[in-house]
Amino acid sequence: MVIWTVTDGAGLTSTCSQLVTVLDNQNPQLVDVPSGGDLGCNPGLADLPACDPGVTATDNCGTATVQCTPGDVIEDGCDRSQTFTYSAKDAFGNEASATVTYTWKVDNTPPVISNLPAGGDLGCNPGLADLPACSLNVMATDNCDGAVNVTCTAGAVTDVGTCGKSQVFSYYAVDACGNGATETVTYTWTIDTTPPDLTVSDNVDLGCNPTTDAIDAAKAAITASAEDNCGGPVTITYNDISGTNGCEIAFGRIFTAFDGCGNAVSKTVSIGWKTDTTAPVFTGCPTAVIDLGRNPADLPDCGDALALVSVSDHCSGAVTPSCQAGSIEQSGLQFTQTFTLRATDACNNVATCTVTYTWNIQECMPYFSDCPEEPIDLGCNPELPDCDDAKAVAGTVYDGCGGTLTPSCARGTIEENGCLRTQDFVLTAVTDDGTAICTVTYTWIESLDKPVIATTAVSGDKGCNPTIVTPEFTLVQACTPGSIVVTTNGVQGTGCAKSQTWKANFTDACLKKADEVVITYTWTEDLVKPVIATTAVSGDKGCNPTIVAPVFTLSEACSPGEIVVTTDGVQGTGCAKSQTWKANFTDACQNKADEVVVTWTWTEDLVKPVIVTTAESGDKGCNPTIVAPVFTLTEACSPGSIVVTTGGVQGTGCAKSQTWKANFTDACLNKADEVVVTYTWTEDVTAPVITCPDDKTLIVSASGTSADWTAETPTASDNCTASSTLTVTGVRSDGKALTDPWPLGTTTITWTAADECENISAPCEQTVTVIIGCLTIDAKVYLEGALINPVTSAEYTVPMRTTLNDLQMLPGQAYQDGATIFYTPAGQPYNTEPWNYDGAEGSLFDTGGSVGDAGYPATAVDWVLVSLRNTAGAGYQKICEKAALLLSDGTIEMLEGFDCCDLDMNGNYYLVVEHRNHLLVMSHVPVQVVAGTLTYDFTAQQSYILPGSGLWGQKEVDGIFFMFGGNGNQSANADSDTDINADDQSTWESHNGRQGYRSGDYNLNGDTNSNDRIIWERNNGHGTSVIRNY
């Protein structure tokens, strides 16, 4: 209510009232409502959601009261959720509400690891393939997350004892809430390739003729023991051997030691002895006395007696006898001596032999008349003596019985002792009664080499002002000693240069003259210092002069040289400069000149100024604040102001730039180098636009828990950044990496794109759904019999004919000819040899004997048998098998699905297709399963052919591939199932002239006739390298 009052000039008033009604139909606005979301795993009591007291509300007409209502906590297994409802109502009943939902997980139970390997002992020296490794079969399940990944860590191989090894494998599984479980598997094994250390007793030699008791005792004393490097038990076995070689008898015991790993070593202990009771036998033992005659030159000894005989032994072989010399017996001039020879074999059997000598003695002793007693000196370098000279010196030789003799002469070697030579001549005169010897000795001096004078002095320069010492000379090679003659001419030379020469000479007693030795010394006598001169004068050179170093000259009488001029270079900072030169000289005799110093000063300003800045040209990134660079001046002599110019901001679109140029010239017109700074940057506040890929569905086998799949990167565009350089990021809803396997169920990828300026696009979401499913076969194949013209047997036409279906001759169908109904028994045709496939697929089509098509599709050609293999060659494993209908366009139609569910849905498999009268075919390579489907088109490519086999895959006509017809007998023998041969001709012959669903009907037209034989004839001898091993 508004009261209005009006007052006039006289103070009189009048009033009225006005009713104002305000209408409010606008709802309040809730403020600071929390966003809710996921709280993770096992949040604490303080972290559990509650009503937020910070939520408020605003109203256009006043205030509004906020009320929060918490919902119940909803439990779904381990998952929890709770919703809070916030509402606000104003005075006019206008109301606003909002819901906030929180989710979290309660999980404190770790996963359970199963299917662990047993571990245990691997025995001795396991091969590389037998060593333990992480098992791929270990699984883990979690009470909340189902199947979880298992991580295996192989521990280090550790030593156990000396040879034992041990390795522990730790399997770890952690669920989404970080609950971890660990199981360990331990393997042990032994590495031992070293045989035991076998110790046996020493070999025994029992000598000669041992007793039986001694032999038995020696055998009983044989021992053996063994130790193994690994410390385990050792088994010792032995066997005995024996043998005889003449008188030698040997017994051996062979010990063999085995350790726990089968390593073995053998050693033999030998016992040997000899059986011998027979004495040796002498050969050549004289039976009579040996007469040596008169005055024998040499009396007999044991050597002479032993030389007469030899001794042998039937066991020891040759035996060396001993000799015992008897005393010499005399009877007048007759003498006798006996030698007893004794032979003993190895077994001490003894044989003897006696040798007796006799001789007589008569005396007639020779002698020399003048044998010299002293050596004969021949002097210096004489003619060498000979035997005739020696005989002449020794005089006449008498025989002692009144006659003379001519002596023999033995010339000795010349003995050397320095220059002295000595030679003996031995003269010998012999009669029957004795021998006379005279030794003649000659000496002389042999001086063929001249003497040698030596000195340690060496000619040369002695330097400055030396003390001269006369050299000393010695005689080192002379046959006759004496004194060296040394002469000198005294000191020579004028001025500073001096010299003196000494000459040494010597001649020996044999007139051999030594080479003259000459020593000359030179030296310098100088005690006066040099003088340095220059025309240069120290002083100031003004501004920017050309500085030429001063020239110095030398006055030096005895030893001129180079003046040493040093300078410390230009000195001074800024513009003031100076340089000093110092000239010095020291002559060869260390006389030093007075130092001469010249110093010049000047002003130098030739350096251009330098402009510096801390700013650097470059890119400033995205949306920067641009600040003009600051320039400073480095100039010593004439400072001033830098001139800076700029053209302002340049560029269109996102790319921007601005350039600043700084210049300066000093008072001496030295110009600084221009400094240019250019900034570039990007102006971009617009986020990229991202387009998500289509949602993805992945299929895994019945036992699978996850699927491998590489996410496709979304496309994105930006107003400034090239698409190829945008950063695209995908975040999985389960928090795992995009490269990790995808678990069963639905996982969301939230994709964003960021440009170079870190503008981030609005997110888009892609779902990845992993489901359990069975393998789907998407394949095509052609049969030659259904493509060929059945009348001409020439042309091939696509699509295939459906003649058997049209005539109602397929299994389960029936047709009528006249009054007769012909019924083909129902069921797929591969329940016989060689396939023996018992699938019930054919039961879907059966008229029960009534005329009709049994419900076959109109495009059905015939039945085929489809299977998978893990490898192309021998030992393959058949994986899944199913009979299917073949349609006219080549499509293989599975009536109830392939039912191949428990296999690796990411694997590669060979696809095999078989027909009852065509050669079977197999994909040329293993085919990758993609999204649960194996796709292969036999009609567009050659099927499998073993390289180098010379066999066939499919027939090709005009680029179309199809299975070879004519293989109607696939069970007669080992070759029939994969080879078109005479067995197939026999099959045609047995069906020729008959109608119906027959294996000899190679062109599949329901009438077996000569046209079917044409197909067989063309393909006879063709075989496939696809083996069948059912």
- Categorize the per-residue pLDDT at 973 as very low, low, confident or very high, splitting at 50, 70 and 90: confident
Q: Is the pLDDT of residue 183 over 90?
A: yes
Q: 3-state DSSP call for residue 436? A: strand
pLDDT of residue 911: 97
CA–CA distance from 562 to each of 552, 554, 593, 598, 879 (Å)?
Answer: 10, 8, 12, 18, 104
CA 86 – CA 101 distance, rounded (Å): 11
Q: Degrees (nearest 5) of the Cα angle 807, 844, 897?
A: 115
Q: 3-state DSSP call for residue 212? A: helix
Question: What is the phi/psi pair of residue 649, to 5°?
Answer: -75, 130
Nearest one of 597, 603, 557, 593 to 581, comparing CA atoms: 597
pLDDT of residue 141: 94
State the average pLDDT over residues 682-690: 92
Name the β-bridge partners of 691. Answer: 715
Six-digit token string for 934: 């194996």
Contact 23, 90 (CB under 8 A): no
Six-digit token string for 441: 């000795």
- Categorize the per-residue pLDDT at 987 as very low, low, confident or very high, splitting at 50, 70 and 90: very high
Q: Is the pLDDT of residue 698 over 80?
A: yes
Classify each residue of 758-775 as buried b or exposed e, where b means 16 or more C-beta atoms within 10 Å of its C-beta. Answer: ebebeebebebbbeebbb
Evaluated on CA atoms 935, 937, 941, 945, the torsion sign reads: positive
State the average pLDDT over residues 708-713: 88
Nearest one of 834, 811, 838 to 822, comparing CA atoms: 811
Q: What does the pLDDT look like over 606-622, one tens digit per residue?
A: 788 899 999 999 999 89
CA 402 – CA 438 distance, rounded (Å): 19
Query: What's the chain's average pLDDT?
Result: 89
Q: How many residues does the chain have?
A: 1030
Nearest one of 730, 751, 734, 752 to 743, comparing CA atoms: 734
pLDDT of residue 990: 95
Reply yes or no: is the peptide bond before residue 688 cis, omega within 30 of 0.
no
| Percent of the chain whose predicted confidence (pLDDT) is above 70 | 97
pLDDT of residue 294: 75
Contact 828, 839 (CB under 8 A): yes
Q: Does domain 29-105 have CATH number 1.20.50?
A: no
Q: 3-state DSSP call for residue 440? A: strand
Contact 711, 730 (CB under 8 A): yes
Please name the fold of domain 197-274: Immunoglobulin-like (2.60.40)
Q: What does the pLDDT look like over 60-100, one tens digit per residue?
A: 888 888 899 998 999 998 999 999 999 998 878 788 899 99
CA 206 – CA 581 distance, rounded (Å): 107
pLDDT of residue 18: 65
Residues 6+ apart with CB under 8 A from 466: 523
Among 16-25, 550-559, 572-581, 845-854, top mean pLDDT goes to: 845-854
- Categorize the per-residue pLDDT at 362 as very low, low, confident or very high, splitting at 50, 70 and 90: low
Classify each residue of 873-884 as buried b or exposed e, where b means 16 or more C-beta atoms within 10 Å of its C-beta. Answer: eeebeebbbbbb
pLDDT of residue 580: 94
- pTM beyond 0.75: the answer is no
pLDDT of residue 1013: 97
**Cα dihedral angle (1007, 1010, 1014, 1020), rounded to 10 degrees?**
90
Nearest one of 562, 489, 554, 558 to 523, comparing CA atoms: 558
Question: What is the phi/psi pair of residue 276, to 5°?
Answer: -155, 115
Please name the fold of domain 689-772: Immunoglobulin-like (2.60.40)
Residue type, position 697, single letter: T
Classify domain 531-603 by CATH number: 2.60.40
CA 511 – CA 564 distance, rounded (Å): 60
Q: Is the pLDDT of residue 201 over 70?
A: yes
Q: 3-state DSSP call for residue 836? A: coil
pLDDT of residue 21: 53
Q: Around Cβ 327, how many Cβ atoms within 10 Å?
A: 8
CA 520 – CA 492 distance, rounded (Å): 11
| Percent of the chain whose predicted confidence (pLDDT) is above 90 | 55
Give the CB-side neighbour count of residue 979, counting CA atoms within 13 A. Answer: 11
Q: Is the pLDDT of residue 504 over 80?
A: yes
Classify domain 112-190 by CATH number: 2.60.40
Q: Degrees (nearest 5) of the Cα angle 19, 24, 25?
A: 145
Q: What does the pLDDT look like over 547-578, one tens digit per residue?
A: 889 999 988 767 788 999 999 989 988 788 89
Superfamily of domain 281-360: Immunoglobulins (2.60.40.10)
Q: Around Cβ 362, how many Cβ atoms within 10 Å?
A: 11
Contact 618, 586 (CB under 8 A): no
Task: Decide whether 281-360 matches 689-772 in CATH topology.
Answer: yes
DSSP state of 50: -
DSSP state of 130: G
Q: Around Cβ 274, how many Cβ atoms within 10 Å?
A: 19
Evaluated on CA atoms 441, 443, 448, 453, the torsion sign reads: positive
Classify each residue of 424-457 as buried b or exposed e, where b means 16 or more C-beta atoms within 10 Å of its C-beta. Answer: bbbbbbebbbeebebbbbbbbbbbeebbebebeb
Six-digit token string for 336: 């006798």
Q: What does the pLDDT look like over 211-240, one tens digit per residue?
A: 989 899 999 999 999 998 998 899 999 999
CA 252 – CA 268 distance, rounded (Å): 6
State the average pLDDT over residues 183-203: 92
SS3 sequence of 388-431: HHHHHHHCCEECCCCCEECCEEEECCCEEECCEEEEEEEEEEEC
Q: Around Cβ 321, how many Cβ atoms within 10 Å?
A: 22
Q: 3-state DSSP call for residue 709? A: coil
Q: What does the pLDDT look like over 409-450, one tens digit per residue?
A: 999 899 988 788 899 999 999 887 778 899 999 998 887 778
Mean pLDDT lowest among 294-303, 475-484, 670-679: 475-484
CA 1015 – CA 1000 distance, rounded (Å): 11
Per domain, the residue ranges of the chain are: 29-105, 112-190, 197-274, 281-360, 367-445, 452-524, 531-603, 610-682, 689-772, 776-1019
Q: Is the pLDDT of residue 22 over 70?
A: no
Q: What does the pLDDT look like over 760-775, one tens digit per residue?
A: 999 999 999 888 888 8
